[in-house]
Amino acid sequence: MTVLIYALIALVGLYIFFLLGILLKTQKKCECMHCRTSMHLERTTRPLYVRRLYDYLPLKYFHCRRCHRTFYLHKDTPDSEPESMKDSTPKPKASYT
């Protein structure tokens, strides 16, 4: 019986350990924490263990194409994609007078 309890404690410990690892990689803004760029980021699918075990966490997963590091971003934090889309949209025609 005590073996089961120890195994359970070990499992919970591992779960919290990986959860802390994810939280440490979570950023406040959409910027690579290593090379400080916000240009070369792409959103990718989260690792399998995150999708299986921590699916309730409202996180987006990003990959930096410059230094190949990865990080998480909270779902509510705006990433650079919509803003760059907004910038690229043609502005309404200015008057040519």
Residues of this chain that bind Zn ion (CB under 5 A): 32, 34-35, 64, 66-67
Minimum CB–partner distance for residue 66 and Zn ion (Å): 4
Residue 68 C-beta: closest distance to Zn ion, Å:
7
Phi-psi region of 68 (alpha: psi -120 to 50; beta: other; left: phi over 0): left
Tell me what percent of the chain is helix, strand and coil, each rounded to the nearest 5: 40, 20, 45
Nearer to Zn ion, 53 or 63 (CB): 63
Q: Which is nearer to Zn ion, 12 or 35 (CB)?
A: 35
Q: Between residues 40 and 51, which has the closer beta carbon with respect to Zn ion?
A: 40
Q: What angle do CA 18, 6, 20 make, to 5 degrees?
A: 15
Cα 13 from chain centroid (whole Å): 23
Compare residues 11 and 67 and give the one whose CB is closer to Zn ion: 67
Q: Least distance from C-beta 73 to Zn ion, angstroms?
A: 14
Strand, coil or helix: 29: coil
**Least gap, CB of 41 to Zn ion (angstroms):** 8
